[in-house]
Chains A and B, each alone.
Chain A
Amino acid sequence: MLLTRIMLVEFFKTIGRYAQLMGRTFSKPDSWKMFWRMMPREMAKLGVDTIGIIVIISLFIGVIMTMQTVMNTENPMLPRYSTGLVLRDTLLLEFSSSIMCLLLAGKVGSNIASEIGSMRITEQIDALEVMGVNSASYLILPKIVGLVLFMPVLVILSSFLGLAGGMGVAYFTDLITLDDFIYGIQYAFIPFYLTQAIIKSFFFGFIISSVSAFYGYFAYGGALDVGRASTNAVVNSSILILLSNIVLTQILLN
């Protein structure tokens, strides 16, 4: 009972500190010049540099999902185009918009938390503050904006590559004909699914960058603590992505 109460208090304290940090992050930058210099760099580091892993994973997921769908649904009642359709909708609705963000939380989240965390323990953040710089806005805002703006690119790229993987299966094997597959991925396409995927990705990009920055910013101690901050960042942003995915899906698909 007492324990739950202590945990609840800690929980709300954390939320409060997070909200306060975001307040400082989204106040007007001390220098727009610096913001515009940092933001594209962060976009390159957090977004562009993750394209490689997204390419590989999305292609393979497209391949394997196509094979599984064809081989496990040998039901004559199902139309032959269903494989393409299932792949397309799964990619858009869940894989490229949510599962992929969990992967990003691992890569990008630990990157952000360890970068900001090591700046904290080596007093670089104090140095910014003593200069009169709003360190939260200077360090965190370019990361959030850079990642969020780049998210749609990653989502769309991932969906296309997943489809390309499926198409590869159709082309190189005789599990399914290319015509059936292509007919499937065009059949009954609902454009809103794409919009929905992009909206979700904005939220998830925000969660990954802001939560990871939070854990890095309040790191305290030595190198081990930076490692701990980075683990916390990945675990907590993943959980938040999973939870908010349910809420967002409810809202968007109703």
Chain B
Amino acid sequence: MIEVKNLFKSFDGKEVLHDITTTFYNGKVNQIIGQSGSGKTVLMKCTIGLYRADSGEVMYDGRNIVNMTTDEVKKLHQEVGMLFQGSALFDSQTVLENVMFPLEMFSNMTQKEIEARAKFCLSRVNIDPVAFKLAPSEISGGMQKRVAIARAIALNPKYLFCDEPNSGLDPVTSIVIDKLIAEITQEYDITTVVNTHDMNSIMETGDNIVLIRKGNKAWQGSRNDIFSSDNEALNDFVFASQLFKEVKAAQSR
């Protein structure tokens, strides 16, 4: 569980996040949604500690990352996995080496155990062994995302962050990735935080959804509350599409 309390963040005097208070639960897919430029990535990076918040608290099961020393943050990061928007696989290493990397860096396992664990993680995300020896540039975008998930879960993280996991993917592959993230979250009881503005992912997997508008928290709830809510900001965001407007109209009939 991650608790964000009264978080503020500005860049060069320009306020990007204003007094955000929210909770991300374990075993749930927690989503940060909102328009482009609303501050989703900044909120995620402040939560992880890639940016320092100006004020406020971010409690990782009781441990506040905001006032940790660099060394303490590094320790905590070993419990964190992250899936980047562009996958961020190391292009000088093969698929298998990418997944072995965090294990080589931080585990005391033998080379054999490391390889076995990496192969297990890759098979968990359905990567065919044929691809193990390929370079990241030689596999498709969807596969890169899955390899990145395998790398993120290699060290059994307690917290998993995904920044727009299905940007640049077709709708079918997007759903595969979303489902995979949701399954892994439940299977290993991870606190997963996903940034997205994709309505499909929101309706498919959003267990706990935080809507950010212009740096403020505008709404929080689950995917089941979306159609019944009369929150203005939420309706502006969700019913920007004619299709969803019609769905809502049909439901209320």
Contacts and interface: CB of A to CB of B under 8 A. Distances in A.
Q: Judge: A and B partners, yes or no.
A: yes
Interface of A: 30-31, 33-34, 119, 122-124, 126-127, 129-134
Nearest to A33: B104
Nearest to B83: A127
Identify the interface centre among A30, A124, A129, A130: most chain B CB within 10 Å of its CB: A130
Given A30-B106, A130-B81, 6 more contacts: A129-B77, A132-B74, A132-B76, A132-B78, A132-B80, A133-B105
Nearest to A29: B105
Contacts, number: 55
B219 interface: no
Given A33-B104, A127-B88, A132 B75 contact: yes
Nearest to B148: A127
Nearest to A38: B92
A123 B104 contact: no
A131 B77 CA distance: 5
Interface residues of B, number: 24
Interface in B42-85: 48, 50, 74-78, 80-82, 84-85
A52 to B, nearest CB: 22
Main secondary structure of the interface of B (DSSP, over half): mixed
Interface in B83-100: 84-86, 88-91
B88 A132 contact: no
Given A31-B104, A33-B104, A124-B90, A132 B77 contact: yes
Contacts of B75: 132
B221 interface: no
Contacts of A133: 105
A237 B118 CA distance: 40
B141 interface: no
Contacts of A122: 86, 88, 91
A34 B85 CA distance: 26
Contact of A126 (B50, B76, B90, B102): B50
Interface of B: 48, 50, 74-78, 80-82, 84-86, 88-91, 101-102, 104-106, 155, 161
A243 to B, nearest CB: 33
B48 A130 contact: yes
12 contacts: A34-B104, A34-B105, A122-B91, A123-B84, A126-B84, A126-B88, A127-B84, A130-B80, A131-B101, A132-B75, A132-B105, A133-B105
B82 A132 contact: no
Contacts of B161: 130
Identify the interface centre among A30, A34, A127: most chain B CB within 10 Å of its CB: A127
Given A123-B85, A123-B86, A134-B74, A129 B104 contact: no
A111 to B, nearest CB: 13
B50 to A, nearest CB: 6
Contacts of A119: 90
B68 to A, nearest CB: 12
A11 B213 CA distance: 39
The 5 closest A-B pairs by CB, nearest first: A132-B77, A123-B88, A127-B88, A130-B82, A132-B78
Contacts of A34: 104-105
A213 to B, nearest CB: 15
B136 to A, nearest CB: 10
Contacts of A127: 82, 84, 88, 90
